[in-house]
Amino acid sequence: MSATAPTNADLAVSGPGLGDPSPSAGGPGRRLSVNLRQSGIYVAFALIVLLFSVLTDGALLQPQNISNIIVQNSYILILAIGMILIIIAGHIDLSAGSVVAVTGAVAAVLMVEHDVPWPLALLITLVVGGLIGAWQGFWIAYFGIPAFIVTLAGMLLFRALTLTVLGNQGIGPFPDPVRTLANGFTEGYLGNIGLGPLGGADLFSLLVGIAAVVGFAAVQWRGRMARLGYHQTVEPLPLFVLKIVVAAVVVMTVIVQLARFKNLPWVLVLLAALILAYSLVTSRAVFGRQIYAVGGNLQAATLSGVKVKSVIFWIFVNMGVLAALAGVIFAGRLNQAGPTAGGSFELDAIAAAFIGGAAVQGGVGKVVGAITGGLIMGVINNGMSLIGAPSEQVMLVKGVVLLAAVAFDVWTKRRAGASR
């Protein structure tokens, strides 16, 4: 009953991108306000995109620029996926940037200095990331040291390890497949197709986009039918259709622009797979539920038979693996593993999670929300650099946005509390 108790809406932040398992309930007035809260982050994202489109005379949405935004932010978004799980469980990871650096260095040493075949080297790097996560997870979950301290120590430890491995220089260049994963695009497997005034576009990319949209709509429709079959309340049909149409338009706009440029970036394919998988895990898997339970009320979770320690351990292992993936991609993008790689990445990932609606106390947050939060910052970075704003202004704006997002969240929760 506390004033800070969040409402149902936090838990059911419904994204245009992915399925939301829980339908809204309540009368029409309540539904409207709930929807506003659920969609606040997406509305904000749309407004920011709109603002920078105007300020940059449309340069923001040019094909090449869209591609740039995705590729430049991919590693932050991958970290944000791991980070949101940790934040939902009520913890934090300050070491992500250093882990990115050390895993990038490990990958470089394996691939460049020892000529290990790249798939094996990638696998080994991911395992190393997992071990790093296990190391931190052990101290946090089983030894009981706050994650803040353990990962602060990790931030230093793994940076030191990076410097030890690399000396004081970068290692490169990486094999072509790794660079392609980080920086490259799908081939034009099916050739180009004319889109009238928009010019030629890659047919394969367009088909992938159409398949994604159709698949999304079908899954949503099936979910709706199943819920109706169980006599559950579902959102009204027009709203349901509107949601799918908006999602389809957004996805297809991005895809068309990418298809006009150089086809689909491989990291986008990877990201899409990760987002889909982790959204499913958080919303449908027992493990995902346990993360929310641990973050929402640790004692209640313990007394409900959740293996709290093991849940916390594994989300840090997961974070380590994702950080290793981000490390390889970042190194591949720069084509060398450098000693200063990943500096302050963890802060961007944390900011993405909180802008995306995670709660400081834990128990609340969504993968899609964190991704949107990361994209908001990515668009701000990109848009401001397009209009030639100096970096101090970029920082200023990002700081204000982070504070405003969390303040909005706290404010709406308090209002929800007061209205009872």
Partner 1 sequence: MTDDILRMHDITKTFPGVRALQEVNLSVGRGEIHAICGENGAGKSTLMKVLSGVYPHGSYSGEISFDGEACEFSDIRDSERRGIVIIHQELALCPQLSIAENIFLGNERAARGLIDWNRTNHEAAELLARVGLRENPVTTVSDIGVGKQQLVEIAKALSKRVRLLILDEPTAALNDRDSEHLLDLLRGLRDQGITCVIISHKLNEIAAIADRISILRDGRMIETLDMRTDEVTEDRIISGMVGRDLDHRFPPREPRIGTEILRIEDWTVHSPTQHGRVVVSNANLTLRRGEIVGLAGLMGAGRTELAMSVFGRAYGTNITGRLVKDGTEISVRSVRDAIRHGIAYATEDRKRYGLNLIEDIKRNISAAGLGKLARRGWVDDNREYQVADEFRTSMNIKAPSVLSTTGKLSGGNQQKVVLSKWIFTNPDVLILDEPTRGIDVGAKYEIYSIINRLADEGKAVLVISSELPELLGLCDRIYTLSAGRVTAEVAREDATQEGLMRYMTKGQTDTTNGRSTGSGRSDTTNEQE
Q: Is 13 helix (H, G, I), strand (E, B) or coil?
A: coil
Tell me the CA end-to-end span of the chain in Å, nearest whole number. Answer: 9
Residue 409 parent element (H or E): helix 391-418
Q: Is 201 helix (H, G, I), strand (E, B) or coil?
A: strand
Strand partners, 220: none
Q: Considering the complex, state which of residue 77 and residue 306 has its C-beta at the smaller distance from partner 1.
A: 306
Name the minimum Å distance from CB 3 to partner 1.
11
- Classify residue 108 by burial, with Cβ atoms within 10 Å: 0-12, 13-18, 19+: buried
Name the minimum Å distance from CB 359 to partner 1.
8
Q: Considering the complex, state which of residue 268 and residue 416 has its C-beta at the smaller distance from partner 1.
A: 416
Between CA 124 and CA 132, with CA 128 as vertex, the angle to 5 degrees is 170
Strand partners, 201: 193
- The answer to whether the beta carbons of residues 151 and 95 sit under 8 Å apart is yes
Name the minimum Å distance from CB 24 to partner 1.
8
Name the minimum Å distance from CB 154 to partner 1.
25
Q: Considering the complex, state which of residue 193 and residue 300 has its C-beta at the smaller distance from partner 1.
A: 300
Residues in contact with 374: Cβ distance below 8 Å, sequence separation at least 6, in sequence order: 73, 76, 77, 80, 348, 349, 352, 356
Interface residues toward partner 1, by CB under 8 A = 1-2, 5-8, 10-12, 21-26, 226-227, 229-230, 232-233, 283-287, 289-290, 292-293, 296-297, 299-307, 359, 363-364, 420
Q: Considering the complex, state which of residue 178 and residue 308 has its C-beta at the smaller distance from partner 1.
A: 308
Structural tokens at position 205:
């990319």
Name the minimum Å distance from CB 284 to partner 1.
5
Q: Considering the complex, state which of residue 34 and residue 323 has its C-beta at the smaller distance from partner 1.
A: 34
Q: Considering the complex, state which of residue 287 and residue 408 has its C-beta at the smaller distance from partner 1.
A: 287
Q: Considering the complex, state which of residue 61 and residue 281 has its C-beta at the smaller distance from partner 1.
A: 281
Q: Considering the complex, state which of residue 233 and residue 253 has its C-beta at the smaller distance from partner 1.
A: 233
Residues in contact with 362: Cβ distance below 8 Å, sequence separation at least 6, in sequence order: 87, 88, 89, 90, 91, 294, 295, 296
Distance (Å, rounded) from C-alpha 93 to C-alpha 188?
40
Distance (Å, rounded) from C-alpha 216 to C-alpha 209?
11
Q: Considering the complex, state which of residue 196 and residue 229 has its C-beta at the smaller distance from partner 1.
A: 229
Q: How many residues does the chain have?
A: 420
- The answer to whether the beta carbons of residues 357 and 161 sit under 8 Å apart is no
Q: Peptide bond before 173: cis, by omega within 30 degrees of 0? A: yes
Name the minimum Å distance from CB 286 to partner 1.
5
